[in-house]
C-alpha cells in the first residue's frame, strides 16, 4: 500500500497550516484514487514533537515518538510538507525537524511542499527557502508549490485559485507515485493574483501559523 506522510509545522491550534495540509492530503487521496490506488496517510504535527526535537538536537538521541516519526518519513512513498512562514522563511520548528533527519532519509522521495502566511508577499519563501532545503536532502520536489495567505481561505476568487493550485500539485504527486506524467488538467495561468494581492496591500503582514 502507498504510504504518504503529511508533515504540518503549524504552531497554533487551530492552525491554518494544518488546514492546508489536510486539504492537500484529501486532494492527493482523490488523485491517487483515480489512478487505482488507495493511499494510507500518516499525519505528523510538529508542535506535538517540539520538545523531543529540541532534546534530540541537544543530545543526539530521539525519544520513541520522534524515532517512530523519523522511521515513518524514511519509509514513506511520498511526503507532504507544510510550514508557516515567519520572518520570510520556514519556521524554526520545521527546519529543526529536517535538521535531525539523515541526509539520505528523503533520497528520491516525492515531496509536495506548501506554506501559509499572512499575505501573498511571503509566497516566494517556498522557492528560495523550502525547495532548496528539500533538494539538499535529495528529495524529488514537485514542480508546483502551494502557498495560502490568510485571505485565500475566505475570499471567493482567491479560494478558487488556491483550490486549482492544490489540485495541480496533488496531480503531480500522484503522477510521481504512479510513475506517469499525466496530462495536466489545470491551467497554471487561470485566475492569476492581482497586482494589489501580490503586494499584499489589502492584507495584514502577520503570518498565521
How does pLDDT run across 98-136, given as a tens digit for each residue? 999 999 999 999 999 999 998 877 889 999 999 999 999
pLDDT greater at residue 14 or residue 133:
133
Res 16: pLDDT: 94
Mean residue pLDDT of the chain comes to 88
Residue 14: CATH number of its domain: 3.40.50.360
Is residue 49 situated within a structural domain? yes
Res 188: pLDDT: 45
Res 122: pLDDT: 83
Is residue 208 situated within a structural domain? no
Is residue 110 situated within a structural domain? yes
What's the number of domains the chain is made of? 1
Q: Tell me the residue range of the domain where 107 lies.
A: 3-199
Q: What percent of the chain has pLDDT over 90?
A: 70
Is residue 126 situated within a structural domain? yes
Is residue 206 situated within a structural domain? no
Residue 195 has pLDDT above 70, yes or no: no
- Residues 6 or more apart whose CB falls under 8 angstroms from that of 97 comprise 7, 9, 46, 49, 53
Residue 156 has pLDDT above 60, yes or no: yes
Mean pLDDT over 18-24 rounds to: 96
Q: Give the DSSP letter string of 101-168.
A: S-TTTTTT-EEEEEEEESSGGGTTHIIIIIHHHHHHTT-EE-S--EEEEGGGGT-HHHHHHHHHHHHH
Mean pLDDT over 88-102 rounds to: 96
Amino acid at each position: 500500500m502507498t504510504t504518504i506522510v503529511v508533515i504540518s509545522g503549524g504552531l497554533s491550534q487551530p492552525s491554518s497550516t494544518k488546514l492546508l495540509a489536510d486539504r492537500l492530503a484529501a486532494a492527493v487521496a482523490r488523485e491517487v484514487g483515480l489512478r487505482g490506488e488507495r493511499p494510507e496517510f500518516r499525519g505528523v504535527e510538529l508542535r506535538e514533537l517540539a520538545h523531543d526535537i529540541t532534546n534530540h538536537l541537544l543530545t543526539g538521541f530521539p525519544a520513541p515518538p520522534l524515532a517512530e516519526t523519523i522511521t515513518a518519513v524514511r519509509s514513506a512513498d511520498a511526503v507532504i510538507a507544510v510550514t508557516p512562514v515567519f520572518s520570510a522563511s520556514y519556521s524554526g520548528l520545521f527546519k529543526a525537524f529536517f535538521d535531525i533527519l539523515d541526509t539520505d532519509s528523503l533520497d528520491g522521495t516525492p515531496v509536495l511542499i506548501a506554506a501559509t502566511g499572512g499575505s501573498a508577499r511571503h509566497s516566494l519563501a517556498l522557492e528560495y527557502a523550502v525547495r532548496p532545503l528539500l533538494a539538499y536532502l535529495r528529495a524529488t520536489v514537485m514542480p508546483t508549490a502551494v502557498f495560502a495567505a490568510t485571505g485565500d481561505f475566505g475570499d471567493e476568487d482567491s479560494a478558487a485559485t488556491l483550490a486549482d493550485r492544490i489540485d495541480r500539485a496533488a496531480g503531480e504527486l500522484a503522477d510521481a507515485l504512479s510513475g506517469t506524467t499525466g496530462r495536466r488538467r489545470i491551467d497554471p495561468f487561470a485566475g492569476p493574483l492581482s497586482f494589489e494581492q501580490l503586494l499584499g496591500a489589502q492584507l495584514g503582514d502577520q503570518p498565521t501559523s
